A and B are shown apart, each in its own frame.
Chain A
Amino acid sequence: MVVCDAGQGCHNGKMSTATADRSLSARVDAIYRAESRRVLATLIRQLGDFDIAEEALHEAFVAAVEQWPAEGIPDNPRAWLITTARFKAIDRLRRRTKHDVPLDEALGERLEALVDPGRPEDAGGIEDDRLRLVFTCCHPALAAEAQVALTLREVCGLTTEEIARAYLVPAPTIAQRIVRAKAKIRDARIPYEVPEASELPARLESVLRVIYLVFNEGYLASSSDDAIRSELCAEALRLARLVVELLPHPEVVGLFALMQLHESRRAARTDGAGELVTLEEQDRARWNSAQIVAAIPLVEAALATEGRGPYAIQAAIAALHAQAPSWEATDWAQIVALYDVLLAMAPSAVVELNRAVAIAMRDGPAAGLELVDAILARGELGDYHLAHAARADFCRRLGRDAEARAAYGAALALVRQPAERRFLEARLARLG
């Protein structure tokens, strides 16, 4: 981290003991973790440029490490950092205007505006800035993968290398995505603002999609590095919590609850050998009951609010699973009804497939098989391994082993995630 490196400078300062030195360095680190993203969000608004804001943020923390040992940590470190960073940026822009002749009139105006930013750095304004940053990074005019990379970098503060490791992509590729996204924000002039009420539902959809993508990347481990994966889930939950606090729309609350309910099952999702365990076979005693208890009221609130949408409904389905004593004793009738609502809101073949699984539990595997075959006959989900896996499961339960084997084979030909592959292979082997 930036601060740790710069922290070396403390040793030449006026601190009397190494212990005090370390404790100050730890406090600066803590302030960095707590405040750097807030400060950055405000600086981007004031300076109108991501890169200048990041440089200024860095310079402000270097200044803090140099000055705080002698002067003490200011009462309001956030305000100190914003002001210091802004003046560092002004110095930089002034130096640039001296060299660049003729003087850019617009730049002059911008400098004046910066010296008097016109808006107090109050808590409310700063929280608005954080929301602006989220909406700008998740703007649908940016490529989907760029939205994810930019959000993790700018809002969550992950390094390019950390994002690259999490997504199994070379770091220069991630860096390139971020550079291109910033260039588009500048050139197409994507504004730094929270959308108006009329645009909010569509724009919020994009924000929630990015958050859920980050979560799923962490949840559906496609690499073996579990630490990085759980960190992505934690980032997604932090992001959702932030948006819930700033914009308590029922869909935001719904997604937050949905992810918490998924997360509550983390410990039970893999066995000792790291193999996947299905919801049906999970040891429910290992579910995180505190997380479930915290999520249920959120689900109820999201469902009861006008504007509820697919995330709130999915959260309600997850909540029914979370409250069920066993797979068999799950309220399948209620789950089918919720899938019907979900399909009416957002028709999708994947949702139909999930509904077929619930129908199979309510009415028996033959009913489920009929629905899956109808989806496949339409030419949909033919290349989705879980459709074939569901078909295989229904056939197995109906005692149609040859068909089950063929369907597992089709699923195995399509599956890419190693743990899922091993799971399907085990199922196939069990058929003999």
Chain B
Amino acid sequence: MALSASTPPRRPGPVLAGPHGADMRYLCLIYLDEKQLAAMPEPEMSALNARHLEFNGKLVDSGHYVEAEALQPAAATTCVRIRNGKVALTDGPYAETKEMVAGFYLIEARDLNEAVQVASRIPAAPLGTVEIRPCRDLEVDGVAHKATRRAC
């Protein structure tokens, strides 16, 4: 497996032993200014997209990759709320913020510092903000399960 030059290989085992030994999952949410994104000339957008596809490959090689998606603009959002057993649909979130979630990477990393290293190499990072959220396990009767597990 060839490691790319720009993505560091996984570092050796953790300093802390035991329960800290397993990798953590982090969701890297990419926030971008949609207006700025829409105004981007086609060749520039094309180059950015190509760099993201290339970055995916690097993350797979370095063992960090779990999942990644780019999202349609926030205007395409539908919100589902269930109240008193009834499904209520509304159009998108009403956040007044300029930057909206435009895509994500779900990664595996040894710790927050490694997650920061990965996040700071996301090609779109210089254009906006990357929010790193650690994933948590779902506990059932005192036993922790990865939230991606299919059944208890």
Contacts and interface: CB of A to CB of B under 8 A. Distances in A.
Interface of A: 45, 48, 100, 102, 104, 106-107, 109-111, 113-114, 132, 139, 141, 187-193, 195, 199
Given A109-B17, A139-B112, A191-B110, 14 more contacts: A48-B19, A109-B21, A110-B17, A110-B19, A114-B17, A132-B15, A141-B116, A188-B132, A189-B112, A189-B134, A190-B113, A191-B14, A191-B113, A192-B16
> Which 7 A-B residue pairings sit nearest by Cβ, starting from the closest?
A110-B18, A113-B17, A48-B16, A106-B19, A191-B111, A189-B111, A188-B134
A101 to B, nearest CB: 9
Contact of B18 (A100, A113, A132, A141): A113
Interface string B113-124: 100110000000
Contacts of A188: 112, 132, 134
B20 interface: yes
Interface residues of B, number: 21
14 contacts: A48-B16, A48-B19, A48-B20, A100-B142, A106-B18, A187-B136, A188-B112, A188-B134, A189-B24, A189-B134, A190-B113, A191-B14, A191-B15, A193-B15
Interface string B16-40: 1111111010000000000000000
B24 A192 contact: no
Contact of A199 (B15, B22, B113, B142): B113
A199 B11 CA distance: 14
Nearest to B132: A188
B113 A193 contact: yes
A411 B102 CA distance: 45
B18 A191 contact: no
A395 to B, nearest CB: 41
A109 B113 contact: no
A107 B112 contact: no
A199 B110 CA distance: 16
A146 to B, nearest CB: 15
Contacts of B20: 48, 189
Nearest to B136: A187
Interface in B125-143: 132, 134, 136, 142-143
A107 B16 CA distance: 12
Interface in B55-109: none
Contacts, number: 57
A111 B18 CA distance: 8
Nearest to B18: A110
Contacts of B14: 191
Contact of B134 (A104, A187, A199): A187
Contacts of A109: 17-18, 21
Contacts of A48: 16-20
A109 to B, nearest CB: 5
Contacts of A139: 112
Contacts of A195: 113
A229 to B, nearest CB: 34
A107 B144 CA distance: 13
B14 to A, nearest CB: 7
Contacts of B132: 188
A98 to B, nearest CB: 15
A114 B17 CA distance: 8
A193 B14 CA distance: 10
Contacts of A192: 15-16
Nearest to A49: B16
A190 B111 contact: yes
| Residue picked from B18, B19, B112, most chain A C-beta under 10 Å | B18
Contacts of B22: 106
A188 B21 CA distance: 14
Contacts of B17: 48, 109-110, 113-114
B112 A141 contact: yes
A45 B15 contact: yes
Contacts of B117: 199
A191 B112 contact: yes
Contacts of B15: 45, 132, 191-193
Contacts of A106: 18-19, 21-22
Contacts of A110: 17-19
Interface in B40-59: none
A188 B26 CA distance: 9
A391 to B, nearest CB: 36
Nearest to B14: A191
B113 to A, nearest CB: 5
